[in-house]
Structure 1
Amino acid sequence: MDRTPSAPLPAVADLRVLELGVWVAAPAAAGILADWGADVIKVEPPAGDPMRNVFGALGIREEMPNPAYTLDNRGKRSVVLDLRNEADRARMEGLLADAHVFVTNLKPDALDRFDLGADATLARHPHLVYCSVTGYGLEGPDRDRAGYDLGAFWARSGLSHQLASRDEPLNARGAMGDHITALSALAGILGGVLQQRATGEGCVVETSLLRTGIYVLGWDLGLQSALGRVARGEPREANQSPLMNCYRTADDRWLLLTCLEAVRHLRNVYVALGREDLLADERFASGHALRKNNRHAIAVLDEEIAKRPLAEWAQRFDDAGVWWAPVQSPTDVLGDEQVRGNDGLVEVPNPGDAGGTTISVNGPITFRGRPSRAPGPAPRLGEHPDASF
Structure 2
Amino acid sequence: MLLDGIRVIELATYVAAPAAGALLADYGAEVIKVEAAGGDPMRQFFASVGRGDDGQNLVFETDNRGKKSIVVDIASEQGAADMLDLIRSADVFLTNARPASLDRAGLDWETLRKIRPDLIYASFTGYGEKGPEADKPGFDIAAYWARTGLCSLATVKGAEPTQLRTGIGDHTASLALLSGVLGALFHRERTGKGQKVQSSLVRTGVYAGASEHAVQLQLGKIGSTKSRHEAVNPMNNFFRSADDRWIVIVPRQGSGDWPKLLAAAGRPELAADARFDGVRNRRTNAAALVDELDAAFGAMPYDALAEALNRENIIWGPVQSVGQAVRDPQLRAAGCYVPLEDDGSAGSSVIVAGPLDFECIPERPLKRAPRLGEHGDILRASVAGKG
TM-score bracket, normalised by the shorter chain, equals: over 0.9
Residue aligned with 1:314, SS:
helix
* 8 Å contact kept, 1:247–1:254: yes
- C-alpha distance in 2, partners of 1:139/1:289? 49
1:291 aligned partner, one-letter code: R
Name whichever of 56-65 and 197-206 sits farther off.
Answer: 56-65
Residues 1:28 and 2:54 aligned together: no
Q: 2:81 maps to which residue?
A: 90
Residue aligned with 2:169, SS:
helix
**How does 1:5-44 map onto structure 2 within 5 Å?**
8-9=1-2, 12-44=3-35
Residues 1:240 and 2:208 aligned together: no
Indicate how the Cα distance of structure 1 residues 273 and 78 shifts in structure 2: closer, same or farther if over 3 A, else same: same
Q: 1:171 maps to which residue?
A: 163
Q: Which blocks of at least 5 consecutive residues in structure 2 are unaligned?
A: none
Residue aligned with 1:255, SS:
strand
* 8 Å contact kept, 1:40–1:76: yes
1:98 aligned partner, one-letter code: S
- C-alpha distance in 2, partners of 1:270/1:344? 34
Residues 1:183 and 2:175 aligned together: yes
* 8 Å contact kept, 2:56–2:346: no
Q: Percent identity?
A: 37
* 8 Å contact kept, 2:27–2:361: no
User: Equivalent of 2:39, from 45, 48, 53?
Assistant: 48
1:309 aligned partner, one-letter code: P
Give runs of ≥4 in structure 1 deviating > 6 Å.
none
CA distances 1:323-364 after superposition (whole Å, capped 9, x unpaired): 11000111211111111112111111366x525652111110
- C-alpha distance in 1, partners of 2:28/2:252? 40
Q: Which blocks of at least 5 consecutive residues in structure 1 are unaligned?
A: 1-7
**Aligned-residue RMSD, C-alpha:** 1.6
User: Equivalent of 2:133, from 142, 151, 165?
Assistant: 142
Q: 1:299 maps to which residue?
A: 291
Residues 1:323 and 2:320 aligned together: no
* 8 Å contact kept, 1:181–1:209: yes
Deviation at 1:166, TM superposition (A): 3.6
Indicate how the Cα distance of structure 1 residues 326 and 66 shifts in structure 2: closer, same or farther if over 3 A, else same: same
Q: 1:5 maps to which residue?
A: none
TM-score (norm 1): 0.93
- C-alpha distance in 1, partners of 2:64/2:361? 22
TM-score (norm 2): 0.94
Indicate how the Cα distance of structure 1 residues 368 and 289 shifts in structure 2: closer, same or farther if over 3 A, else same: farther
Deviation at 1:118, TM superposition (A): 2.5
Indicate how the Cα distance of structure 1 residues 336 and 281 shifts in structure 2: closer, same or farther if over 3 A, else same: same
CA distances 1:120-155 after superposition (whole Å, capped 9, x unpaired): 222332211100010001111001101100011011
Residues 1:382 and 2:373 aligned together: yes
Residue aligned with 1:13, SS:
coil
1:82 aligned partner, one-letter code: D
Deviation at 1:208, TM superposition (A): 0.2
Equivalenced residues, count? 379
Name whichever of 238-247 and 70-79 sits farther off.
Answer: 238-247
* 8 Å contact kept, 1:163–1:232: no
User: Equivalent of 1:217, from 191, 209, 213?
Assistant: 209
Residues 1:229 and 2:221 aligned together: yes
Deviation at 1:61, TM superposition (A): 3.0
* 8 Å contact kept, 1:350–1:357: no
* 8 Å contact kept, 2:184–2:197: yes
Residue aligned with 1:90, SS:
helix
* 8 Å contact kept, 2:17–2:96: yes
